[in-house]
A and B are shown apart, each in its own frame.
Chain A
């Protein structure tokens, strides 16, 4: 039984590590801040979840605590990157777009408007 749990733990930790590695490669290769955040957020969320799950299999007594940590990671990870993206949008960092999409302009205008609103 213990061997099976350990094997499962190793598998999940390896999967998590692999996704974290892919996320780091993504951060290096993507062209601008928003695409980099995309790669970073998704990969680091699933990577962390996989690692935590693997640790849970190694130490079954910790499983409930690890479950709570997983909930915190799922809730907080997107929020932090969302606020980074919003901050860079508001401070005027322009995304490199291959396809011109109208909502891009609107979004920038809305950013400027909301900055003006905040200034008042």
Chain B
């Protein structure tokens, strides 16, 4: 179990590093590809322990599908948030109603929490200040609700629904 886990982690790291190499060289020239395979092999040997927790399981089709769904939701939210900031910044009265709210997340792994925190930072009017264990503290430009449950529904739910499917 331990050994297969390590091999799967190593293969995952190797494949990802090699794909990055291919993207950076942008060519299928045979010399470049062989160099890439060797270099990414060497890098993967040293780094696979830190790079991933799940290994090849990350490539399962459902997970990749949810990943794309997540990106779509995220990009829409990013554009919305920018229009929101533009509206606030350009209106002469500066209509903000700031406050710091909190909510509890259901995510467990650190990486998933990091992704959620980043997404919240880039979505309309909200900004992650800190999280302690599973409590997130959010700076909100336009406070609508303060109860943690409702805050969770308002801010985190659209992302967390998908993240729970990806990471659990």
Contact = CB atoms under 8 A, between A and B. Distances in A.
Interface of A: 19, 22-23, 25-26, 29-32, 34-35, 37-39, 41-43, 45-46, 61-65, 67-68, 74-75, 78-79, 81-82, 85-86, 89, 95-104, 106-107, 110-111, 114
From DSSP, what is the main secondary structure of chain A's interface residues? helix
A78 B117 contact: yes
B121 A78 contact: yes
A95 B85 contact: no
- What interface size band does chain B fall in? 35 or more
Contact of A42 (B26, B122, B143): B122
12 contacts: A19-B82, A22-B82, A22-B86, A34-B139, A38-B139, A67-B23, A68-B20, A82-B117, A89-B129, A98-B97, A101-B99, A103-B137
Given A22-B89, A26-B89, A42-B85, A68 B97 contact: no
Given A41-B127, A46-B82, A101-B143, 8 more contacts: A38-B125, A42-B81, A42-B122, A78-B117, A85-B128, A97-B100, A99-B99, A104-B99
B37 to A, nearest CB: 18
A114 B132 contact: yes
A19 B97 CA distance: 22
A102 B81 CA distance: 25
B118 A85 contact: no
Nearest to A19: B82
B11 interface: no
A65 B97 contact: no
Given A19-B82, A78-B122, A82-B121, A65 B98 contact: no
Contacts of B97: 98-99
B81 to A, nearest CB: 5
A85 B129 contact: yes
A31 to B, nearest CB: 8
B79 interface: yes
B101 A103 contact: yes
B62 interface: no
A35 B96 contact: yes
A103 to B, nearest CB: 4
B1 interface: no
B24 interface: yes
A59 to B, nearest CB: 11
A99 B141 CA distance: 10
Contacts of A23: 85
A81 B82 contact: no
